[in-house]
Amino acid sequence: MNRRGVLKAGLGLGALATAPVRTIAQIVPDKLRPALPHGVMSGDLLPDRAMIWGAADRPARMVVEWSRDPNFARAERRIGPLATPDTDLTAKLDLTGLPPGEEIHYRVAFHDPDNARAISDWTPGRLRLPGATLRPVRFTFSGDEAGQGFGINPEFGGYRMYEAMRRVRPDFFIHQGDQIYADGPIPESVALPGGGTWRNIVTPAKAKVAASLAGFRGAFAYNLMDRNKRSFLADVPMLVQWDDHEVRNNWYPGKVLPDGTPVDRLAAWSRQAMLEYNPMRLTANVQGVQRMFSWGPLLDVFILDARTYRGSNDLAADRSPGAGMFGQAQIAWLKGALATSKATWKLIASDMTLSLTVKDYKSYTDPPTGIEGLSNGKPGAPGGREAEFAELLSFIRARGIANTFWISADVHNASAIHYHPDRAAFKDFTPFWEIVAGPINAGVFSIPDNPPDPTFGPDIVFASVPGPIQDHSPSTGLQFFGMGEIDPESRTLTLSINDLNGRQLWRKELNPA
């Protein structure tokens, strides 16, 4: 990149702040103008700000305009950072000074710093900010994307789940991890058990396992080739957490792969690519991706990190208390945030389920060598990672923190699980619900693959895939998202599980305590 050109460009930053982008762009051939191949997105909303994301096809400077008007009357312009190869041509702007609680229309363009006339077209997006006034809240959540060799299939309609969620117009979406399958190459085709073929769009990066920073970046970029996802993210802000397949199946810090590769090196590359390709705002002194968002008086959202702080999967299988999943520092942060929350409802997002047993296999033909999930699969008193969770549940009960509920993904099916001390070996907790949702576009598993651990008294009230199935492809339609809706008058929370076409399969209304 010609850095001198940044300083010498005819349109300096002061001029760029007021220049009519579209008028200038009209007189420059398209091949000389930057483009936005991956669309735009927003995320990590606070009452007066939002992270705005875009990417260019060449080095260029980000320009953002926002307005209350969808036609961008009285728009305000902000100049963002340079998108350079150092960030894989991605750029983010923390758009501040926004009016709380209002719907905001924004648009992104990129300006070539070496050519004053080379400016892209605008790409628009929208969002609604949280605010202090009572109004309805609606959100969706799911996880597990492009797994088991099932990528973008134009014959199937691409990632159709995103269009189903876009139609319900949520205020925000929580992506609960396995956003990429860094360890899962996408082949050109997959033969289906009942006949027929699943055909994928393939890129060089997704044709192999990610083993470099470029490989992880390519995996994130691949999913943004899907038009459904781009359209959805332009309309709906996204909150992101990560799980194992962002790095390697069942990884934990300190693990060494069979070929001698330290997984921490891969995790660092994946984390960098994840932050580059998502509208995330992280505090500099926080090691993980945990953070909190307030959606006004009705809802606080707590995004957890079940990867960065976890201990060995081997220790997690013990009957005695062993290595945790969230780590004591994160548990202490969550306790403090829950204790000071003034919202009616407290949503706690864990990328991994709480009671469905997820075992760790060296390969799926070998006996399990440990426990990947929170539950150790053994009845009785909390052991392994369960002890850390039991400590949190006891704190919530002792402090009288009401109206908590959990959401999770990872197991490639959807279920509604109710927890009650009357059914549990460990009884020092207040009853609560967990809604499991997914996959977005990946292979399908069933409840028998992950039997429930009885330690915390789970009751699987609804299971989207209750028994074994032959065809695990998305073409079965067994892809699911969860949704929550809060009524501002009654403060009732309605939770539901929905399928690939947006059809509601299960619904539960919860009255606040």
Bridge partners for 484 per DSSP:
139, 495
Q: For tokens 């781009």, what's the residue? A: 230
Residues of the chain with CATH 2.60.40.380: 3-128
Q: What is the dihedral of CA 256, 259, 261, 267, to 10 degrees?
A: -70
Q: What's the CATH code, domain 137-510?
A: 3.60.21.70
The span from the CA of 429 to the CA of 214, in Å, is: 45
> Do 322 and 383 contact (CB within 8 A), yes or no?
yes
How far apart, in Å, are the Cα atoms of 262 and each of 54, 208, 251, 307?
32, 19, 10, 15
DSSP 206: G
State the residue for tokens 């929580």.
174
- Whole-number Cα distances in Å, 159 to 43, 53, 203, 315, 441: 20, 21, 16, 37, 6
The helix/strand/coil state of 249 is: coil
Give the β-pairing of 60-67 and 76-83.
antiparallel
Secondary structure (DSSP) of 406-454: EEE-SSSS-EEEEE-GGG-SS--S--EEEEE---SBS----GGGSPBPG
Exposure pattern of 433-460 as b/e (b: 16+ CB <10 Å)? bbbbbbbbbbbbbbbebbebbbbbbbeb
CATH tag for 3-128 (out of 2.60.40.380, 1.20.900.10, 3.30.1320.10, 2.60.120.10) = 2.60.40.380
Give start-end residues of each CATH 3.60.21.70 domain in the chain: 137-510
Distance of CA 389 to the CA centre of its chain: 22
Within 10 angstroms of residue 419's Cβ, the number of other Cβ atoms is 21
- Please report the pLDDT score of residue 282 as a whole number: 87
pLDDT of residue 20: 57
| Rounded-to-integer distance, Cα 315 and Cα 371, Å | 8
Distance CA 219, CA 34 (A): 22
Instruction: Write the pLDDT tens digit of every residue in 332-353.
Output: 999 999 999 999 999 999 999 9
Whole-angstrom distance, CA of residue 234 vs CA of residue 240: 15
For residue 20, the Cα-to-chain-centroid distance in whole angstroms is: 35
For the chain, 513 residues long, give each residue's pLDDT as a single digit of tens.
Answer: 444 444 344 345 565 666 555 554 456 778 889 999 999 999 999 999 999 999 999 999 999 999 999 999 999 999 999 999 999 999 999 999 999 999 999 999 999 998 878 999 999 999 999 999 999 999 999 999 999 999 999 999 999 999 999 999 999 999 999 999 999 999 999 999 989 999 999 999 999 999 999 999 999 999 999 999 999 999 999 999 999 999 999 999 999 999 999 999 999 999 999 999 999 998 767 789 999 999 999 999 999 999 999 999 988 888 888 789 999 999 999 999 999 999 999 999 999 999 999 999 766 656 777 899 999 999 999 999 999 999 999 999 999 999 999 999 999 999 999 999 999 999 999 999 999 999 999 999 998 889 999 999 999 999 999 999 988 999 999 999 999 999 999 999 999 999 999 999 999 999 999
The SS3 assignment for 403 reads coil
Q: Cα separation of 448 and 454, whole Å?
A: 15
Place of tokens 């705002």: 281
Q: Which amino acid is at 396?
A: I
Closest by Cα among 223, 244, 242 to 151: 223
**327 in the Ramachandran plot: left (φ > 0), alpha (ψ -120 to 50) or beta?**
left
Q: Which of 88, 112, 2 is nearest to 38 (CA)?
A: 88
E strands within 448-489? 458-463, 480-486
Contacts of 62 (CB under 8 A, 6+ apart): 54, 56, 79, 80, 81, 82, 83, 91, 93, 108, 109, 110
> Which 3 state secondary structure label does DSSP give 123?
strand
454 φ/ψ angles, rounded to the nearest 5 degrees? -80, 0
Q: What is the distance, to the nearest Å, from the Cα of residue 134 to the centroid of all Cα atoms in its chain?
A: 26
Query: What was the pLDDT predicted at 354?
Result: 97
Write out the H or E segment, with its range, that includes residue 272.
helix 263-276
